[in-house]
């Protein structure tokens, strides 16, 4: 990111909305916004293999591994407004497991980009499938979108749910329902 250029653009935005970028309260705003966006879009600079850091292990375990209630924060690519929520992820190993802390880190890589919830959910599932080759993987995301809450339709209690199912989670209703029951979403 070219921070000087970014900050200049923020100063122009402040002028366009009718503000004075030289006002005391706004003097450091361009710098703070540049730093915030650098953090909020850090996923573009992350490499999945570096995130996994060789934490994939051979293990004879064939039951469901579930990590639920992973908090995430992202930015809607349509309005550049935040959306946030929780992700629930399960996989059934096929000889490989991953260090549990790596699963939330995978979510973070994709959440820290301009996104749509559906793509982010699919990217997480595809990544787990690619690196672990499990019998199945399931990902459900639940989110509140500021573009729906504070502008547009302004529906304060609305949330969105997206899911991605691979392998046994897609093919076998019993396995899929076990996952959905465990995350408290047996009505999907």
In the set 19, 35, 129, 147, the catalytic residue is 147
Query: Residue 17: left if φ>0, alpha if ψ -120 to 50, beta else—which one?
Result: alpha
Distance CA 112, CA 10 (A): 20
Tell me how far CA of residue 111 lies from CA of 39, 94, 115, in angstroms.
Answer: 11, 27, 7
User: Is 12 an annotated catalytic residue?
Assistant: no
In the set 79, 129, 133, 178, the catalytic residue is 79
In the set 108, 122, 123, 145, the catalytic residue is 145
In the set 12, 38, 59, 78, the catalytic residue is 78
In the set 4, 38, 77, 171, the catalytic residue is 77
In the set 7, 76, 88, 115, the catalytic residue is 76
User: Is 88 an annotated catalytic residue?
Assistant: no
User: Is 156 an annotated catalytic residue?
Assistant: no
In the set 117, 122, 133, 173, the catalytic residue is 117
User: Is 16 an annotated catalytic residue?
Assistant: no
Please provide the DSSP assignment of the chain as one string.
--HHHHHHHHHHHHHHTT--TTSGGGTTHHHHHHHHHHHHTGGGG--HHHHHTT-EEE----S-EEEEEEEEEEEETTT--EEEEEEEEEEE-SSEEE-TTHHHHHHHHHHSSEE-HHHHHHHHHHHHHHHH--SEEEEEEEEEEHHHHTSTT--TT--EEEEEEEEHHHH-HHHHHHHHHHTT-TT-
User: Is 79 an annotated catalytic residue?
Assistant: yes
State the catalytic residues: 76-79, 117, 145, 147
């Amino acid at each position: 990111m070219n921070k000087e250029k970014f900050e200049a653009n923020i100063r122009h935005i402040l002028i366009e909305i009718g503000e004075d970028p030289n006002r005391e309260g706004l003097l450091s705003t361009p710098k703070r916004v540049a730093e915030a966006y650098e953090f909020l879009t850090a996923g573009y600079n992350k490499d999945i293999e570096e995130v996994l850091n060789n934490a994939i292990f051979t293990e004879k375990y064939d039951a469901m591994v579930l990590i639920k209630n992973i908090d995430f924060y992202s930015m809607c690519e349509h309005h550049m407004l935040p959306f946030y929520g929780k992700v629930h992820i399960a996989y059934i190993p096929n000889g490989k497991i991953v260090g549990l802390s790596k699963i939330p880190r995978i979510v973070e890589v994709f959440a820290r980009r301009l996104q749509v919830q559906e793509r982010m959910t699919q990217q997480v599932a595809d990544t787990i499938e690619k690196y672990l080759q499990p019998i199945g993987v399931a990902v459900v995301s639940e989110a509140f979108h500021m573009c729906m809450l504070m502008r547009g339709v302004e529906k304060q209690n609305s949330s969105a749910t997206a899911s991605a199912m691979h392998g046994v989670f897609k093919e076998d209703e019993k396995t899929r329902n076990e996952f959905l029951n465990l995350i408290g979403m047996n009505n999907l």
